[in-house]
Amino acid sequence: MQITKIQNNTTFGYNRKLNDQLNIKLNTEKSNPKTSAIRDLNVLCNNLEYHIRSGYQNDLDFLSLFLVLKTNLISMIDQKYPELNYGKIETETYDKEGDKLLRNKKIKSYPWQFTIADAMYNIYEMEKYLNTENNKNNNAANNKEKKNISTDKTNNKISKNLNTNAKKSVIDEEIIEQYKPNAYSPKGFNSLGGLDDLKEQLFDKIIIPALNPDQAEKDFKEYGKRSPRGIMLYGPPGCGKTSIIEALSAESKLPLFKLKISKAGSKYINTTSTNYQKAFDSVAKYSEQNNTPCLMLIDEIDGMTKSRDDEFSNEDLKQIGTLLNLIETARDKNIIILGATNKYDLIDEAIKRRFDDQIYIGLPKKDTRKIILEKTLANWTKGEQLSKDSQALEEIAEKMEGFPSSAIIIISDKASDIARKDLRRDIEKNDFLTEIEKNQNLRINENNYKSSKTSAKIGFKRN
């Protein structure tokens, strides 16, 4: 494929200031071979991006080529000019541009900028980790040389340590897993509809302290404000509790870990409590090694914290006691616990009190139901016409009162199936009305999940 040459001042990424800073440095060392290579590769990447933005957004081969060249360019720039912090800033600018396109509704598909940003972010984090490990090994080697240990013995020992470390995993994957978003995962709070109060709470309590430690320290000194031990979301199933937590991870750029309750539980005495401890220690170690706060999700927390008013064995009480202690000390280990449950009333009261906030996530309101329908249909070529019919969507959303967000997606799939089997025609309002009538069993009685302590409700938009 021939690449059309364009002007050198074309922005690489979306940060003109950063690109200008790079060009200034490149122009000061014109005779340097490495500088010339960076300059040529930068121009090539600018040209490639021009073509991507001009019509090759969905060409995977083209995107792959661009990503390979771009990541090599970033690596060269970060090594040559570390003061620019080039890789990190470029990753953030792609991510912000993708968010802006979604927010302005300029596109209907998954933004290609997110594909680039996600890959760049993973590579950037890996390089940062490897650089940290290399520095540790170099320091160890220098210390050994000072103690007059021979070069051969030093190299052998370093090599042995590296091989040993390569076999170890910081995260105990048997009982806990790190959340890895896919193309359909929430990209941040823009993927959520409604719940402005909750978003504001999460920003104030979690995101701002995590991204601005200086502000967090100031708030603590002046007002005694601390990061939360944990936040619990409760309410009917299918209303987006897990999606909210995943959106929080994306918005804050904090790693999210999910406790595997089914794997942590055991019929053997003390094993369950020991597994809870291992899971927390695993996340705490990751937090320490990577110097970052971590989010830890305990989904269906009712399954491990049932009320002690019931008839429980000593082992059951020990498990609750272990969890109480772990949640209490999680903040000191740079961990924020996020609980989610459909059965709030079954949770032990002492466990509830350990969570700084307990927030009810209810059924989506009419306007949110309409947004979910519109976004879902807009992703399908045979649903585009209906997605633009505001009156029809209003009527469908009205009929869907009492349906959780997940049920709205299910009914949308069923309605589209009717149209597909009927000579592959466009999806119509009557397809939805038919499926709504047939699937009344998906309605939820919200009163079965409410408690005396409630907060705003939420729905979520399908990406």
In sequence order, what DSSP letters do the residues of 174-218 get, joined into one string? TTEEE----TTS--SGGGEEE-HHHHHHHIIIIIHHHH-HHHHHH
CATH number given to 366-443: 1.10.8
Q: Across residues 441-456, what is the average pLDDT?
A: 70
Which of 307, 283, 83 lies closest to 175, judged by CA?
283
What pLDDT was estimated at residue 151?
40
Tens-place pLDDT, residues 110-159:
567 766 776 665 555 555 545 555 555 555 555 555 444 444 443 443 33
Name the pLDDT band for 405 (thresholds 50, 70, 90). Answer: confident
- According to DSSP, residue 441 is labeled G
What pLDDT was estimated at residue 102?
61
What pLDDT was estimated at residue 4?
42
> Quick check: 292 and 255 in contact, CB under 8 A?
yes
What pLDDT was estimated at residue 147?
46
Query: Alpha-carbon distance 259 to 267, whole Å?
Result: 18
> Quick check: 98 and 187 in contact, CB under 8 A?
yes
Tokens 């490495």 sit at which residue? 34
Average pLDDT score, the chain: 76
Tens-place pLDDT, residues 332-390:
888 999 988 888 888 878 788 888 888 888 888 898 889 889 888 988 999 999 999 99
Answer whether residue 457 shows pLDDT above 50: no
Q: Across residues 218-242, what is the average pLDDT?
A: 86
Name the pLDDT band for 255 (thresholds 50, 70, 90). Answer: very high
- Token pair of 208 as six digits: 């701002």
What 3-state DSSP class applies to 459?
Answer: strand
Name the pLDDT band for 459 (thresholds 50, 70, 90). Answer: very low
What pLDDT was estimated at residue 119?
64
Tens-place pLDDT, residues 201-211:
888 888 888 77
Query: Alpha-carbon distance 230 to 200, whole Å?
Result: 16
Name the pLDDT band for 424 (thresholds 50, 70, 90). Answer: very high
Answer whether residue 305 shows pLDDT above 60: no
306: amino acid identity, one letter = K
Which of the listed ranges 243-257, 263-277, 308-322, 443-457 does the model predict with the highest average pLDDT? 243-257
What pLDDT was estimated at residue 172?
59
Q: How many residues does the chain have?
A: 463
> Quick check: 294 and 304 in contact, CB under 8 A?
no
What pLDDT was estimated at residue 118?
64
What pLDDT was estimated at residue 441?
92
What pLDDT was estimated at residue 165?
37
Answer whether residue 284 shows pLDDT above 60: yes
359: amino acid identity, one letter = I
- Percent of the chain clearing pLDDT 70 (strictly above): 71
Tens-place pLDDT, residues 22-77:
888 888 887 788 888 888 888 888 888 877 777 766 676 777 788 778 878 888 88
Q: Across residues 81-90, what is the average pLDDT?
A: 85
Domain locations in the chain as residue ranges: 1-168, 189-363+453-458, 366-443
Answer whether residue 181 shows pLDDT above 50: yes
Poorest-confidence range of 266-280, 354-368, 395-409?
266-280
Which of the listed ranges 29-33, 286-290, 428-432 does the model predict with the highest average pLDDT? 428-432
Fold of 189-363+453-458: Rossmann fold (3.40.50)
What pLDDT was estimated at residue 209?
82
248: amino acid identity, one letter = L
pTM of the model: 0.56
Query: Alpha-carbon distance 122 to 91, whole Å?
Result: 10
- Token pair of 244 as six digits: 């909210």
